[in-house]
Structure 1
Amino acid sequence: MESTPALSIEFGAKALAERLSRCEVEAQTNLIEKLEGVRVAFNALPHVVMVLNRQRQIIFCNSALLELLGDFDTKHVLGVRPGEVLRCVHAQNETGGCGTAEPCRTCGAFFALMNGVRGKLDCQDCRISVRFGESFRALDVRVLVNPIEVQGQFFSIVNMTDISHEKRRKMLERIFFHDVMNTAGGLQGLLELGRDVADLQEAKNLFGALESVAGGLVEEIAEQRDLIAAENDELKVIPAYIRSRELLHGLVRQFCANDQYGRWSVRIDEGSENATFLSSPVLLRRVLKNMLKNAVEASPAGAEITAGCRKAGDSVEFWVNNPVPMTREVQLQVFKRSFSTKGEGRGIGTYSMKLLTERYLNGRIHFDVSPESGTTFVVAYPIDNQGWKGEEFAG
């Protein structure tokens, strides 16, 4: 999906953080409660419905929101803002909560809510990263905001619909109707070439190319299968001992052999260390492959991409650098599911890197950006993953 444009806010930071007192919120709640049939009508809707005041605080909600939260006491959500109720990773901050952090300026829900405050009907798609225990979950929601007036006071009715399945369907359509079709087309082209091959060496070379393309096709399908399993907490991790530089060297060599990426120079930093650590070679390859792919796609043809690995205390770090500094607007959204600078139906590369690293590999991921050195993504994994046992080396 294309990035959400940063919203030009007419309200100052103090105004965005401002809240009404508990007593004032309860008075507004009573005003809505007295509307005939409102409770029955809202509870009959299957999706989340909230009524917000001009400070974007919840003053009324339906049972769908309470069921989503697993808390059936309305008092716990009154006066709270939507991002705080949903445990958005950006809502817990020192600047005033939901709507006051810098990443909020690219949030579709915030955009819609602010238009509601201005008295405008608006509908926006939104990607929300929410805390779930020690990890995070990605929500794709559609937020419809309808301003209303009740006894001289202005409120917003907010309808929130889960569109994760719609986004996933579009993603799979893009994969199978574009990426997989392209790969299958390449496979078909090689098979057609094989009809006229008479030379034994040429036939061997063609067979090697066929094997490579077919392997890439299977890997592409397996990657999407595993991503869906990871989101559903169904992905099984099979650990083994890995040698960092050997693993990275194999990936870079495979990457350089792919004609699709022949216009870029991809190399391994000479200072890279060959540390041994325990992790999942399959999932780690997925993460590193996406790091390399994103670096290439973010750079102009002919640019040099540098990858490396090093031991850092009790962790092993892998990093990939490209010479193009990531814009601030992209930085604020880069790990969100469905976000991409490459168009609709894309945007799972950086999201899957974070998902696999932090939820399944016990690691950490971050990026550094500077005008001088460009953009560098870094992942770090513990050398000794407690509770994991492996007997074989991979790499």
Structure 2
Amino acid sequence: MALDAKPRRHGAVTTHFASPERTSEADLRREAEACLENPVARFLIQALDGLVLILDANRQVLATNDRVLQIADPEDGNVLGRRPGELFGCVHAHEGPAGCGTSHACAHCGAVLAVLEAQKTGHSVESECLLTLRHGALTESAEFAIVASPLEVSGHPFIAVVLHDLSAIKRRDALERLFYHDVANLMQGIRGWADILASGASSSSTAVAQKLANLTDLLDRELRSHRAMAQAEHGDLRPRVRAILPLEILRDVGDLLQRHALAEARKVELLPAPEDVIHTDPELLSRVVLNMAVNAVEASFMGETITLSARAEGQHIRFLVHNPGEIPEEVRSRIFQRSFSTKGAAGRGLGTYAMKLFGENVLKGQVGFDTGPEGTTFWIRLAR
């Protein structure tokens, strides 16, 4: 299904994607009773493994199994009438004019698409769904395998949805893919320069030794970063706060970025930064800004300029990384999802996810981006 450029109207209600209509409370209760009295619906709820939801024609929950109730996040303690994104805490659930399914981001949600396709075709639909969930101040990524199947009960057209949590598998696969990719690349560089040093082919052993030292430092940083990411996902990472000047962060990132292979054909420019110290974890903050910078390099063309900057905003400070390119509309809502990448099968899909993980869950800041014809700016905003 294609994303509409303009919102559509269904009666008096507007939507950016799926139908916004909602079932009345009285009709919801009648449908829920019919659902729970039906032996097939009861069997599905009680016997199927995973998270099981029965939805009505307006994608609203009529019944669930106990596993859904254990992790659900209903606003008033009641699941009846909620839509799946509202139940699980999807960050986009309330962006649309009529809740889950009606925002721009919902056009790319595997769950919404599967339910709509099952309603349209009358056949079961299998898909995967990547979600960004918010629970209080924390955000987390979740990946599900989903099956949506039509179910008629007493003349009512329902949809049975079964979700299987793939988050642990996806997390392990993504971390392993990233680890082996980055470490293998660094080890290849170390081996190459070590061979040059051993053969005596270079006229300057000091320069080669410096190259080896730089690559070894990068390897050490990568190993610490992977360990920190695993700790952050389990809630075990604590920031090591100390005073530092914003310009020191920018210089550290600029220095590391210059060693990135793609950065050789791009210009990296450091803009002026506030001279007041901030109190944060410099290593984690540098990692966040570096991920933004690497993302900018990978999204830019040869000869283009990437700028690193910081600016004071009252009792906060914002670090910004800008590149000339614009993020396509269909990609924007999925940028921070753990398993999403714009680079196809070769993409690792963790750089932007790590920005959120470290920047918000650990450093307690805000991470976001602005994009348009003038370019793209990723940023992190922190209390000083």
Scaled by the length of structure 2, what TM-score is found?
0.90
Deviation for aligned residue 1:351 = 1.6
Is 2:179–2:226's contact at 8 Å kept on the other side of the alignment?
no
Deviation for aligned residue 1:361 = 1.5
SS at match of 2:317: strand
Is 1:246–1:274's contact at 8 Å kept on the other side of the alignment?
no
- Please tell me whether residue 154 in structure 1 is matched to residue 157 in structure 2: yes
Measured in 2, the distance between the counterparts of 1:157 and 1:217 equals 48
Structure-2 residue corresponding to 1:314: 315
Structure-1 residue corresponding to 2:333: 332
Measured in 2, the distance between the counterparts of 1:230 and 1:6 equals 36
Aligned counterparts, 1:2-41, within 5 A: 6=2, 13=10, 14=13, 16-36=19-39, 38-39=41-42, 41=44
Larger deviation, residues 340-349 vs 320-329: 340-349
**Structure 2 counterpart of 1:50, one-letter code:** L
Measured in 2, the distance between the counterparts of 1:94 and 1:328 equals 16
Aligned counterparts, 1:189-208, within 5 A: 189-197=192-200, 202-208=204-210
Measured in 1, the distance between the counterparts of 2:233 and 2:147 equals 26
Structure-2 residue corresponding to 1:393: none
Aligned counterparts, 1:230-269, within 5 A: 230-269=232-271
SS at match of 2:200: coil
Larger deviation, residues 50-59 vs 187-196: 187-196
Structure-2 residue corresponding to 1:175: 178
Change (3 A) 1:41 1:97: closer
Structure-2 residue corresponding to 1:129: 132
**Structure 1 counterpart of 2:189, one-letter code:** G
Measured in 2, the distance between the counterparts of 1:8 and 1:92 equals 18
Measured in 2, the distance between the counterparts of 1:311 and 1:41 equals 56
SS at match of 2:338: coil
Deviation for aligned residue 1:70 = 8.0
Deviation for aligned residue 1:40 = 5.0
SS at match of 2:86: helix
Deviation for aligned residue 1:11 = 8.0
Measured in 2, the distance between the counterparts of 1:226 and 1:288 equals 15
**Structure 2 counterpart of 1:267, one-letter code:** E
Deviation for aligned residue 1:252 = 0.6
Measured in 1, the distance between the counterparts of 2:81 and 2:256 equals 55
Deviation for aligned residue 1:6 = 4.8
Percent of matched pairs sharing the same residue: 33
Deviations 1:291-346 (A, max 9, x none): 11010011112211111112221112211110011112222221222221012462
Change (3 A) 1:340 1:220: same
Measured in 1, the distance between the counterparts of 2:39 and 2:112 equals 29
Change (3 A) 1:240 1:310: same
Change (3 A) 1:85 1:113: same
Measured in 1, the distance between the counterparts of 2:145 and 2:352 equals 22
Deviations 1:38-62 (A, max 9, x none): 4355323331011111100111211
**Structure 1 counterpart of 2:177, one-letter code:** R
Change (3 A) 1:221 1:257: closer
Measured in 1, the distance between the counterparts of 2:3 and 2:261 equals 40
Structure-1 residue corresponding to 2:118: 116
**Structure 1 counterpart of 2:149, one-letter code:** N
SS at match of 1:369: strand
What is the number of residues matched between the two proteins?
A: 374
RMSD of aligned alpha carbons = 2.4
Deviation for aligned residue 1:355 = 2.1
Structure-1 residue corresponding to 2:230: 228
- Please tell me whether residue 342 in structure 1 is matched to residue 343 in structure 2: yes
Is 2:324–2:375's contact at 8 Å kept on the other side of the alignment?
yes
Structure-2 residue corresponding to 1:102: 104
Change (3 A) 1:168 1:194: same
- Please tell me whether residue 54 in structure 1 is matched to residue 60 in structure 2: no
Structure-2 residue corresponding to 1:210: 212
Measured in 2, the distance between the counterparts of 1:294 and 1:27 equals 51
Deviation for aligned residue 1:80 = 1.2
Scaled by the length of structure 1, what TM-score is found?
0.88
Structure 2: gaps spanning 5 or more residues = none
**Structure 2 counterpart of 1:331, one-letter code:** R
Structure-2 residue corresponding to 1:388: none
**Structure 2 counterpart of 1:295, one-letter code:** A
**Structure 1 counterpart of 2:326, one-letter code:** P
Measured in 1, the distance between the counterparts of 2:36 and 2:370 equals 50
Structure-1 residue corresponding to 2:191: 188
Deviations 1:222-275 (A, max 9, x none): 212211211111002110101111221232123224444211111112x33333
Structure-2 residue corresponding to 1:386: none
Is 2:228–2:237's contact at 8 Å kept on the other side of the alignment?
yes
**Structure 1 counterpart of 2:302, one-letter code:** A
Deviation for aligned residue 1:283 = 0.5
Larger deviation, residues 80-89 vs 37-46: 37-46
Deviations 1:157-179 (A, max 9, x none): 10111111221232133223333
